[in-house]
Structure 1
Amino acid sequence: METLHCRIRENSWVARLAARKMGSRSIAIVFGRVIYLHGVSREAFLANVRWVRHEVRHVRQYREHGFLPFLWRYVIDWLRFGYYDIPFEKAARLAEQDPRELDGVEIT
């Protein structure tokens, strides 16, 4: 199995902007293989296995679709369906329950 490498960046300005847009105190947002955090520490994020699985699913989606194609589809689907019904978000919510989601994942 190929290792999926992810990185975490705390106190991210881009995550802070996303938190404002979403009306959330804490947020994680993924670009490529980096998980950007705002309002939550690395330790607290990693302790929440469902949340980690969700964000790792997004890292996998970027890898499967490519950086720009993923972003394009994500934005178009957000406009078409609304955030909750974006197919990428639906898949990430399903991944929250999958104990195999983190197999082969290395987070630094």
Structure 2
Amino acid sequence: MEKLYCRIRENSWVARLAALKMGSSAIAIVFGRVIHLHGVSRETFLANTRWVRHEVRHVRQYRQHGFFPFLWRYVNDWVRFGYYNSPFEKDARQAEHNATELDGVEIA
């Protein structure tokens, strides 16, 4: 299996803005290969396997579609279907239950 490299950025201002928008105290948001965290520590995030799988799936989606094409489609789908019904979010929620989702993943 091909390696997938991800990074974590704690106390991210980008994730803080997303948390304000979503009305959440703890959030993770992905841009490219970087998982941005706000309101949650790296250790707490990594201890939540379902959450890690969800965010890693977004990293895979970026890789599959390309950075800007993914962002464009993600935003359009969010406007069109809403956050919860967005195809990318549905896919990431399914990945939460996939035991092999983290195979070949290295998180720095």
TM-score range, shorter chain: over 0.9
Match of 1:25 in 2: 25
Identity %: 81
- Does residue 34 (structure 1) correspond to residue 34 (structure 2)? The answer is yes
Alignment-mate amino acid for residue 55 of structure 2: E
Whole-Å separation in 2 of the counterparts to 1:81 and 1:88: 11
Q: What's the CA shift for 1:2? A: 1.0
Structure 2 regions of 5+ residues with no counterpart?
A: none
Match of 1:90 in 2: 90
SS in 1 for 2:5: strand
Alignment-mate amino acid for residue 67 of structure 1: F
How many pairs align?
108
- Does residue 77 (structure 1) correspond to residue 72 (structure 2)? The answer is no
Task: State the 4+ residue runs in structure 1 displaced beyond 2 angstroms.
Answer: none
SS in 2 for 1:103: coil
Structure 1 regions of 5+ residues with no counterpart?
A: none
SS in 1 for 2:76: helix
Match of 2:11 in 1: 11
Match of 2:47 in 1: 47
Match of 1:104 in 2: 104
Q: TM-score, normalised by structure 1?
A: 1.00
Q: TM-score, normalised by structure 2?
A: 1.00
Whole-Å separation in 2 of the counterparts to 1:28 and 1:65: 20
Can you list the C-alpha shifts for 1:69-108, whole angstroms capped at 9, x where unaligned? Answer: 0000000001100000000000000000000000000000
Match of 2:59 in 1: 59
Whole-Å separation in 2 of the counterparts to 1:2 and 1:53: 16
SS in 1 for 2:84: helix
Whole-Å separation in 2 of the counterparts to 1:100 and 1:82: 28
- Cα RMSD after superposing both structures: 0.3
